[in-house]
Amino acid sequence: MKAMNRRKFLKGSLLGGAAASVIGKSRDAGASASFGGYPEAMGVLVDLTRCVGCRSCEAACNKEQGLPAPAQSFDDLSVLDHKRRTSEGAYTVVNRYEIPGQDHPLFRKIQCNHCNEPACLTSCFVKAYTKTPEGAVIYDPTVCVGCRTCMVACPFYVPAYSYSSVLNPVIKKCIFCYDTRLKFGRPPACVEACPREVLSFGRRQDLIKLGHQRINNSPDLYEDHIYGENEVGGTSWMYLSSAPFDQVGFDTDLGTQPILSYVKEFLTVVPMVLTIWPALFAGFHLLATRKDAQKKEEKTEKS
């Protein structure tokens, strides 16, 4: 039997290590590409054909989350005359859309869509955000430093900022009533308040089936698409509509890739740049200037 010498052993272990790292890497890449969210994640299917814009969901959210009193009553429907966005005082708002060719407007409730792979979470450098197995995207305001990167990262323009707070401004957004309800298997306050079941709460996987069933049963009523089933890698909150989605204020150009996938490769390079580059370029610099240094030395010796 041949004895294994030192050189062979090193060669073998290097090759093995390299192979293992390649396999490991490709396995990781495969896993991250196929992550479609937690299997037991809950969600809400919003059926725009049922909404009459009563704003009960807004009132329920205000009460549940202990938000400041609104500037106008929640039964004041004049606020629907202009388009609103979520804010530090309102984690959900309803907007009205006049649809050309339809005699009825459509109403669309906006809140955090609770992405399967949230861009806000990826962008947050203090890791304030968490995607829970129940489906909620929650955040820890005590670690939030107020950089507002998540506001830029969110494809739905959802996170708001407490500009009114002088001493400790933080991010504010819908948390799917995680602390008070979702954690205990209960639907969020807005779902419970909705009089016409515009909002259906359930397992995300079941809601997708349910949405397609509604479309199949009434193909003339619905657009053949569930917004959020695949958009930006899928969201926990999804929408059905009787009008093309771009006519009710949805961005239909977001694609189906999670925002994360656009920056993943760049982000993996960042630590490498920060650790290897300084040493590498310092080395280059020393090599490049060595001759000069030698010449200088020679000169000084001559003189």
Partner 1 sequence: MERIPKHLLSTVMAMLLCFSLYTTIAQAGDGPDEVIIDSLAQLYEPVLFDHALHEEITESNCAICHHHTLGTEIDDENCMRCHAGSGASDEVSCQGCHSSKRFEAEYLNRIDADNTLYHRDKVGLKAAYHIRCMNCHEQMDAPNGCQDCHARTDAGNKFFHAGSYAPPESDLPASGGH
Which part of the chain contacts partner 1 (CB under 8 A), choosing from 28-36, 61-69, 241-249, 288-296? 61-69
Collect contacts of 211-218 with beta carbons under 8 A, ≥24 apart. Answer: 211/45, 211/238, 211/240, 214/47, 214/240, 215/240
Which part of the chain contacts partner 1 (CB under 8 A), choosing from 26-34, 56-64, 126-134, 282-290? 56-64
DSSP 25-66: HHHHHHHHHH--S-TT-EEEEEEGGG-----HHHHHHHHHTT
CA distance 92 to 46: 13
Sole binder of partner 1 in the list 46, 51, 93, 248 (CB under 8 A)? 93
Query: Residues 139, 185: contact at Cβ < 8 Å?
Result: no
Q: Considering the rule CB under 8 A, would residue 90 count as an interface residue with partner 1?
A: yes
Per CB under 8 A, contacts with partner 1 among 99-158 are: 151, 157
Sole binder of partner 1 in the list 79, 94, 153, 154 (CB under 8 A)? 79
Sole binder of partner 1 in the list 96, 183, 203, 264 (CB under 8 A)? 203
Q: Considering the rule CB under 8 A, would residue 46 count as an interface residue with partner 1?
A: no
Sole binder of partner 1 in the list 85, 127, 285, 290 (CB under 8 A)? 85
Sole binder of partner 1 in the list 34, 217, 300, 303 (CB under 8 A)? 217
Q: Smallest distance from the beta carbon of 240 to partner 1, in angstroms?
A: 12
Q: Which is nearer to partner 1, 119 or 191 (CB)?
A: 191
Q: Which is nearer to partner 1, 194 or 260 (CB)?
A: 194
Sole binder of partner 1 in the list 41, 46, 51, 54 (CB under 8 A)? 54
Which part of the chain contacts partner 1 (CB under 8 A), choosing from 89-97, 121-129, 253-261, 290-298? 89-97
Which part of the chain contacts partner 1 (CB under 8 A), choosing from 71-79, 106-114, 269-277, 289-297? 71-79
In whole angstroms, how large is the CA radius of gyration of the chain? Answer: 27
Total Cβ atoms within 10 A of residue 32: 13
Collect contacts of 246-253 with beta carbons under 8 A, ≥24 apart. Answer: 247/97, 247/99, 247/100, 248/48, 248/97, 248/99, 248/106, 248/108, 249/83, 249/95, 249/97, 249/108, 249/110, 251/155, 251/156
Which residue(s) pair with 237 in the sheet? 44
Query: Residues 159, 150: contact at Cβ < 8 Å?
Result: yes
3-state class of 222 per DSSP?
coil
Q: How many residues line the site for partner 1 (CB under 8 A)?
A: 46
Q: Considering the rule CB under 8 A, would residue 206 count as an interface residue with partner 1?
A: yes
SS percent in the chain: helix, strand, coil, step 5: 45, 15, 45
Q: By the criterion CB under 8 A, which residues form the site for partner 1?
A: 50, 52, 54, 59-60, 62-63, 69-76, 79, 82-85, 87, 89-90, 93, 151, 157, 160-161, 185-187, 191-192, 194-197, 200-203, 206, 210, 213-214, 217
